[in-house]
Structure formats: structure tokens, C-alpha cells
Amino acid sequence: MPVNEAIALIRGEAGEVSGFLSVAYDITQRREAESLIRHLAHFDFLTDLPNRTKLAERLDADLRTASRTGQGVAVALIDLDHFKRVNDSLGHHVGDELLVKMAARLQQHVGPHDLVARFGGDEFVLVMIDAMSPAQVQRRVMTVLDAIPEPIECGGHEIILTASVGLAMYPFGGQDAMTLLKHADTAMYQAKLATRNSFRWFEPAMLAESNDKLALAAALRRALDRDEIDVHYQIQISLDSDKVVGVEALARWRRCDGTSVPPDRFIPVAEDNGLIIRLGELVLRQACRDAVSLSAELGYPLKLAVNVSPRQFHDRNWLRVLRQALTESGLPAEQLELEITEGIFMEDPREVIDVIQTVRSLGVGIVIDDFGTGFSSLAYLTRFPIDKIKIDRSFINEVVSDPADAVIVNAIIVMAHALGLVVVGEGVETIEQEAYLRARGCDEVQGFRYSPAVSLRGCRRRSAPDGAPTARTLNRQNSSWLRGSPPMR
């Protein structure tokens, strides 16, 4: 038993020492507390994995050895995808349990000399010290990536998680622990952007890219404050009547210096940092108002298609914004369609079905955008209540020249019709593509053949003079449409 002994002098009346008082304390608990504190300084409280401090110490030591022996050291930063959703929907205790189990699983799937550390919230770091070659590291990381999505039983739920991994290898990916970890983090971020459940090796070009993204995000935030975001519209034509039946709202960012940033650049940035919530709300409200006035001018109800990002779909507030946009603009819900991508179905299906059902109960339609490019599990077409699919423009592009694409387009049209869904061909540029789609019974078309996206004024100009524009009148007039977007409003 560890004891602490205190000794005091005992003095007599005259002050002379008459004895000693010795008291021994049992300090087991204090020793235990001290060792726990020492342990916690180096190990994570929840998972008992080495923490950041321990990781940095170990990695520094490994790198010193590597610099002498020439042995490879690789760092993998593993970030669980959408972990926050587990916490939000099932509670922190389930999230904690999941992290503990995931930590154990990671340890099971790494080599005897590898180190697994908890880097933060839902981030883990794997250090491989006997890393021979990038190919070998990659194989080992794949084993871990494959093991992660095995279902985990937590608090009565079966949870499936994926992870995104960034890889950096000494010495090219960084000379010291801090740099290696930072670079692995940069690569992980790129992996997440590309597609979840994947890995990326760090490349120096990524640094410039991520700085660029940060700058773009800051500029976009300012742009939203300064009203630099506008909505343009691209018409959609019914092949049955040759009439314009709807428009798709597309966000446009024109900076005050007159240059514009294409949506393919700023939308992913906005999705990544959450600005898509503000941007999407702005587009939705504006587009609903514009659709009401365009319909009034045309004299018939025009359908309005608005793109919705997964992030908005999962935002609790978004359904309220949707209802508000409809009431405030007076747009009948039946005129609104929301375009979502197949990626949404990879998320929690119950939540997605809930949101889709609520949206449809309002009378708003659901369109699957970019159909055919996603993971293309057709099963969800029957499982999820949707109204329309939009064949991706990459298929339309080659439909006349590539028999394989023609087969896909045919199959999509037949299948969609069998399920009672409306089919739109997007990115139609030539008369041959239009003819092909018309012959196969495609319902609607959209593309540069009819018009690029133009400002509301441009859209008005098209439809103003002699009633509604049709595919044919547009084709005759299309030179002015194709000269590019008219000046902004």
C-alpha cells in the first residue's frame, strides 16, 4: 500500500522535544488519480486511443528514426462521413458508443506496428512506420476503408458509416509531424469533396486549391451580403406541344468588377461550407416571385424547377423556408418542382423519404436531376415517391453518335414511363438530338438548342410579342438567345 508519512515533533511544557508523532496516510487514491491524469494527457478519454499529444510525440520519434534508416512513414487521416448526423438524430451517447466501437474496429484492421490515434471529434489518424511503397500503403488503407462500413450495433440501432481518408508519406508529403498531418488533412478534404468513402494522396497542388477555395468561400459570403447573386432561367419545352412549359432557375454570380464565377465552381464551395443554405433560400424566393410574374405575362402557368442540394434537404429550417417562399410569392405549389440528385438516396433513407413526402404533400414535385450519373441503383425509383427524371446531359450529348448512350437513354425513357414518371432530356444542343428524343417519346427537353439560362428580362423578351414561345419559334429566333446571356437586370 503506498503511504505518505508525516512526522511532527512533540514538545513538553518547557519546549523540550519529548517525542515524535508519526502519521501514515494511505495515498492509493491519490496515486491512482495522478496516474489517470498522466494517462489522460496522452490517451483519449472516450476511446482510450493515443490522443493528439501522444500522436505528435510518437510521430516525431518515428520520423527521426526514418531519417536515419530511410524507412517509410505514412500518415492516414480518417474522417467519418456524416458522423454529425448520428449525434443529431440518435443522441450523443449513441455517437460516443459508435466512436468507441469504431476505434476498436480500426485497431483490429491495422498492422502490429501501426499506431491508431484519435485526432479529434470523428477523426482518427493511422501511422504506418514500415511503409514500403505508396502502393503498399494504399492496400493497407483499403483494408481499413473496407472494414469501416460493416454495420455497427449501437444503442439498439444498426449504423453504417463510411469514411474519407487523406494520405501523406514522409518525406515527400512532409518532413515533420505537423506538416504530414496537415497535408493528410488537406488530402482528406479533397477526398470528401470528390466522393465519400474514398482516399486521396496529398499533392502539393492541393494546397493552392484549398487556399483558393477558402478565398472563394470568403468572396461568396461577401457576394451574398452585397446582392451579387442573381437567378437566371433556362426554358424547358414540351415535345408534345412544342411549347415552353417551364423554366429551371440557375444561380449566377456576377462580381462587381463585371467578371462572373461559374456555378460549377461556387456551388461546391457553398455546399461545403454551408453557404448553400443562404444561397438556396435566395434562389428559391427570387425564383418563386419571378415565376409568378412570368406566368402572369404568359397567360398560363409556367413550371419552375429549382435545384436543391443535399445539405438543404437535411436542414431542419428548409421546409419552413419552402412554405414561406410559396405563400409570400403566391406561386401555386403545383407549379414548383425541386431537382435533387441521386446522391441524396445514399443518405438515411427514412429521413429522405420523410422530407420528400412532406414536400409532395404540399403539392410540390420532385425531379431526379443528372439521372444516370450517380450510383444508378434503379431500385430507389420505385421506393421513393418522385415525379420526374432528368436524363443527364452527358448521355444526350452522345445519343446520336454513341450506341451505348443511345441504349441507356432508351432504357431510361421506357423504364420511367413504365413507372409513370415524366422524362426530361437535358443539354439538347442539336436538331438530331431533339429528333432522337422525340422519336423515343421523351416528354420534355432543355438545352442550348432552345436557349441558355438568361436573366428574367431575357426570358420576358422571348415570351412577350406573340404569345408563348415554342420550340419552333425559339429555334428560328435562337441566334439572339445563343449570343450568350443578355445583360443582367
Q: Smaller CB distance to ligand C2E: residue 183 or 252?
A: 252
Q: Which does residue 448 touch among ligand C2E, Ca ion, none (CB within 5 to 8 A, set by kind)?
A: ligand C2E
CB-based contacts of 198: which residues, under 8 Å, 6+ apart? 145, 164, 165, 191
**Residue 344 near residue 313, CB atoms below 8 Å:** yes
Q: Of these partners, ligand C2E, Ca ion, none, which one is at the site of residue 229 (CB under 5 to 8 Å by kind)?
A: none
Nearer of residues 170 and 318 to Ca ion, judged by Cβ: 318
Nearer to ligand C2E, 155 or 263 (CB): 263
Report helix, strand or coil for 200: strand
Beta partners for 369? 341
**Residue type for position 392:** D
Q: How far is the CB of 273 from ligand C2E (least distance, A)?
A: 14
Contact pattern for ligand C2E over residues 292 through 321, marking x by CB under 6 A: ---------------xxx------------
Residue 280 found at the interface with ligand C2E (CB under 6 A) = yes
Give start and end residues of each alpha helix (H) in 91-162. Answer: 92-108, 134-147
Grid coordinates given for 467: 404569345
Cell numbers that stand for 295 in this block: 406566368
Nearest approach in angstroms of CB 280 to ligand C2E is 5
User: Cβ atoms within 10 A of the Cβ of 214, count?
Assistant: 12
**In this structure, are residues 124 and 106 in contact, taking their beta carbons and an 8 Å threshold?**
yes
By the rule CB under 6 A, 267 interacts with ligand C2E: yes
The nearer residue to ligand C2E, 365 or 427, going by C-beta atoms, is: 427
Which of 369, 405, 443, 444 contacts Ca ion by CB under 5 A? 369
Please count the residues of the chain.
489
Is 307 a residue that touches Ca ion (CB under 5 A)? yes
State which of residues 264, 350, 465, 479 lies at the interface with ligand C2E (CB under 6 A).
264
As a whole number of Å, the CA-based R_g of the chain is: 31
Helix (H) / strand (E) element for 414: namely helix 403-418
Interface with ligand C2E includes 455 (CB under 6 A)?
A: no
Q: Among candidates 371, 367, 346, 370, which has minimal Cα distance to 356?
A: 367
Q: Quick count: other Cβ atoms within 10 Å of Cβ 333? A: 16
- 262 binding ligand C2E? (CB under 6 A): yes
> Binding of ligand C2E at residue 453 (CB under 6 A)?
yes
Is 79 an interacting residue with respect to ligand C2E (CB under 6 A)?
Answer: no
For residue 85, how far is the Cα from the chain centroid?
Answer: 13
Binding residues (CB under 5 A) for Ca ion: these are: 307, 339, 369-370
Binding residues (CB under 6 A) for ligand C2E: these are: 234, 250-251, 262-264, 267, 280, 283, 307-309, 339, 369-370, 393, 427-429, 447-448, 452-453
